[in-house]
């Protein structure tokens, strides 16, 4: 058996106890009210957006992980990339874009990405996605040897 010595805790003074209870009541009235808690979260959710969702495919029709996907508006200069996302372990990527009718050009930077046999991959061609309003547009980018 082992003896454990615990320090003796002093009781909380009465004014400090009233302060703690008052602070808890104030927090419960203001901070725990769902209207106040969800106000910031709802303001982000209420902003409308369109979604460009896609998959990066390899030459053997398997999804490719870690490919950089660059997204730009069709009206912008070719070098001006607005968004840059990476494909996940399922080869998928997603990017929110502003609502409204617009064309977006997607390209993949497959630098350093190699196929199953070790040969380097490249993008077959850039993909143009047309967004009408606040919807989801699905697309795919195909890489080849």
pTM for the full predicted model: 0.67
The CATH classification of domain 50-144, taken from the options 3.30.200.20, 2.60.40.10, 1.10.630.10, 2.60.120.330: 2.60.40.10
Would the pLDDT of 40 be above 90?
no
Q: Calculate mean pLDDT across residues 17-21.
A: 83
Q: What is the pLDDT of residue 103?
A: 96
pLDDT per residue as tens digits for the range 116-133: 788 999 999 999 999 999
Mean pLDDT score across all residues of the chain: 86
Residue 14: half-sphere exposure toward Cβ, Cα within 13 Å: 0
Both tokens of 140, joined, read 């795919």
């Amino acid at each position: 058996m082992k003896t454990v010595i615990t320090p003796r805790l002093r009781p909380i003074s009465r004014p400090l106890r009233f302060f703690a209870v008052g602070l808890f009541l104030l927090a419960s009235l203001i901070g725990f009210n769902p209207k106040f808690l969800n106000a910031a979260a709802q303001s982000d959710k209420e902003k409308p957006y369109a979604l460009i969702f896609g998959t990066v495919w390899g030459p053997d029709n398997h999804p490719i992980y870690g490919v950089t996907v660059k997204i730009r508006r069709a009206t912008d200069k070719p070098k001006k990339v607005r968004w840059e996302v990476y494909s996940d372990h399922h080869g998928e990527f997603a990017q929110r874009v502003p609502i409204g009718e617009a064309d977006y050009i997607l390209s993949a930077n497959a630098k350093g990405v190699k196929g199953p046999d070790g040969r380097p991959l490249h993008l077959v061609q850039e993909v143009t996605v047309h967004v009408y309003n606040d919807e989801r547009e699905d697309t795919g980018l195909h890489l080849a040897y």
